[in-house]
Each structure stands twice: as structure tokens, then as C-alpha cells.
Amino acid sequence: MITHAIVRPPGASFARAISSSGAAIDVALAQAQHAEYRQALVAAGVEVEVLLPDEGYPDSCFMQDPALVIAGTAVIARPGAASRLGEEASVAQALAGRFPLARIVPPGTLEGGDVLILPDRVVVGISARTNRAGIAQLAGALSAVGLPVYEAPVDGYLHLLTAVTHLGEGRLLAVEGFAVPPPLAGRPVLRVPADEAYACNALGIGANVILPAGYPKTSAMLRSHGFEVLPVPTTEFAKADGGVTCLSLAW
């Protein structure tokens, strides 16, 4: 279960974040929504550490992508988006001294949004942002702790975690119609209706699930399975192709 999270509020430069839609981002609203997100983490029992905004990197509020903590190892990733290269340096400084560090180096690329962490394995999406060289380096970094790494193709989604997330205790949340890759076969899967696909990127913390606000069918489904749903408004982060898992480096 997640007990710690490092977050970074969006700065003024977030208005220039990568966006597939090109929709205008309201930075002040994004900052208010980020504050609600932090409150939800605290409500779920997570110890939250807040870094200063990094104006040099418009997407730097998406803390999941430049680094991950897996089985006591901090993996400093290498973003696949050119404008995000360099974000990882300050995150590495924040993690140094807490965990041994492993680094993804060229030609590898790896973004945390493609990394699904389970108790017995790690499944990594091959996407426009993460390549096989990056996955191989991650596998090498985790071999010492005996955690196998599997790859899974990602078609039609930005990241693997856009289509499937881990709620905890082996239970998955996946978009209706998404074919769960073989390394995840046999696990219970809760399905998000196709018209609420954005809600699939949810953050499970014990009995709690932080969920984007405004997705009533997914919220009701999760509650029917015994979860406490903590809805958070994320409209401005959605404009930058981000969701609730993206906003924290959690372990």
C-alpha cells in the first residue's frame, strides 16, 4: 500500500504543457485542483511531500513519469518526450540518500506512466514514450531484488496506465474493450465503461481510490466493490493528457 508521495504543483509554464487536444489550460484552476489532489492523498493516509514548481519544464507536475520507486529502488527514468528531458535531474536529487538509484540511459526511454507495479512483477507498456531498451534497463535494475519485468504493447493509448491500473491486492481497473496483456492474465479486472475511459487512470491506496471527478458510473461501480472513492477535479490536467496517477511519485 502507498504510504508516501512526492508531488509538484504546476507552475505558470503549465500553460505550455504537451497537449494532444491543444485545449487552453487554466493554470490557476490547475493549481487549485492540485491542492484538492494533495488533500485527497492526505485523506487516504499518505504522507505528502511538496516540491516547488519547476518553471523550466511545463509538464513537471506529472511526477510519475521521471522517476519510480520499485521494491526499494529508485529508478530515474528517461522521458520519451524531448521537452521533458532534464526533468529527472531534480527528482533524482529529491530521492538521493533515501534509496539506491538506478538510471535509464540512452538509447533507452522510460516513462512511469507505462509502468504497472504489482507485488510479484512489473509490466511495462511499449509506447511512443517507452522503448524496449528502457524496459531492458529496468529489468536489469530490478533483477537484484528478484522482480521480473514483462513488456506489453500499448496501442491507442498514451501510456499503459491510461488503459489499465492496479487498485491493490492484484485487482485491476481496465477500460471496457481493452485486452489485458498476457502478463496480467488471471487477475480480477473491474471494467470502466468506454464513455468514462479517462476514469481508468485511478490511484488505489488501500481501501481508497482517488478518481477523477465527474465519472458517476465508474464511481458507483468501485463503491459497489467496497472501495471508498475520493473524487478529485482534474479537468486542467486532462487537457495535458494527464490523470491522477501521473501527479505523484508514490511508494
In the chain, the N- to C-terminal Cα span, in Å, equals 8
Grid cell at residue 119: 507485488
- Spot the catalytic one: 61, 159, 166, 200: 159
- Using DSSP's 3-state secondary structure scheme, residue 171 falls into strand
159 flagged as catalytic: yes
Tell me the β-bridge partners of 96. Answer: 99
Name every residue whose Cβ is closer than 8 Å to that of residue 213 and which is 6 or more positions away in sequence. Answer: 231, 232, 233, 234
200 flagged as catalytic: no
B/e letters for 23-59, b = 16+ CB within 10 Å, e = fewer, are eebebeebbebbeebbebbeebebebeebebbeebbb
**Degrees to nearest 5, angle at CA 117 with 64 and 167:** 90
- Using DSSP's 3-state secondary structure scheme, residue 159 falls into coil
- Spot the catalytic one: 34, 61, 166, 246: 246
Question: Among 91, 103, 12, which residue's Cα sits nearest to residue 249?
Answer: 91
Placement of cell 485511478 in the chain? 202
Q: 84 with 240: CB under 8 angstroms?
A: no
Catalytic residues: 159, 246
